[in-house]
Structure 1
Amino acid sequence: MVGTGQREKLNALTARDAGLVGCRHCTRVWPMETEICARCGGALESRDRTSLQRVWAWALVGMLFYIPANLYPMLITKTVGRASEATIVGGVIELIHHHAYAVAGIVFFASVVIPVGKFVAIGYLAYAVRKPHGIKPKRLLHLYEAVEWIGRWSMIDVFVVAILVALVQFNLLATINPGIAAVCFALSVVFTMLSALSFDSRRIWDEIETLSDETPS
């Protein structure tokens, strides 16, 4: 049995049902036969059929770059002729040893929790919209919006490296240089953001139509 409130949600009218198509760039709605948005000039299509392929491709490349970002040094510090290297996790452990728990928590959250969480969330979204499921579309939309919003904060580790490199340059006394992991991490973040941007969020609402068709009257 389907409750009245749930049935109303399942029978919600979508733009495609109404013969309309929305622009993904400026959100203006046009008749279905319109090919170009008159407001922003963007191409109009009811659904991006290559969306999932691009989502998986960008996400896979992002994961490939994330592996060396954690294996290779993020910072190379030289003090009085002695050099030391620190990976992301190694830097977090060193901060904990120096009792900088707040900074260690921020770095760990921004450099490990957020990137891994984004990979999982994007993969979950791309997999969920492939076939009918029992997940509420609004819940998936909130997850997608969270992934899109939180993506910018993944660069905090790269910003810290850039600031340290710019500030700590005392020739033979002390210098800090970015390691190869900094480049890999930045590329991983960029590719993950491209993966999230490639996802056609309109496909989330197709599930309402599917469930509505299968719901007995």
Structure 2
Amino acid sequence: MPTLLLVRHGRSTANSSGVLAGWSPGVSLDEQGEQQAKGLAERLSGLPLSAVVSSPLDRCRQTVAPLLAARPELSLRMDERLGECRYGDWTGRSLAELSKEPLWSTVQAQPSAVTFPGPDGESLREMSRRAVESVREWDAEIEREHGAEALWLVCSHGDIIKAIVADALGLHLDLFQRISVEPASVTAIRYTPVRPYLLRLGDTGELAGFAPRPRPEGDDAVVGGSTGTR
């Protein structure tokens, strides 16, 4: 099965100002985020990517822009299901202010019980469902188009990536707050008919190890731990 690289967008103006961006218009990468996006393109330069799929929000599109500029053979595909959680009335408010809301403690301890307030508020359960559905459907399509050894990339948001990782690990959504992914970090998952494998989580270093290489037949976990041959 293909290998999925999940990229969180680079640091945004909302990140640096401590605001919950959600689907707010006009949120872009800040200066550090722009440098992270350039660095990401360099880190991925030796990898044979087959496809790039992104959240439609500007900060994600800006994050993959240097990569796409360097790789004209790649076109950007977008999927709204990979967009940020719809935080409803919480959108655009400061995190310091939100931390005083009664719902904040539920977001921390029991995310599966949370629906964000307001007519546009989404539940974290629905966010998780759509995100997982998206990457699994895209993974199957990439395999049909490019084969089982394909390497492809999704650029999305922190809570989206955490939910996808929780699903891959078989974790209840209530445990997804234990997962951390930094801006411009790369998380790698390989789905198989038996189980998903989390290959890397929130990585900000080199990525050369994801270049395709021969793998043993079958999808059984290696008893005693990985031998370093993926």
State whether TM-score is above 0.5: no
State which structure, 1 or 2, has the greater radius of gyration over its C-alpha atoms: 1
TM-score range, shorter chain: under 0.3
Superposition TM-score, scaled by structure 2 size: 0.26
Higher helix share: 1
Superposition TM-score, scaled by structure 1 size: 0.27
Higher strand share: 2
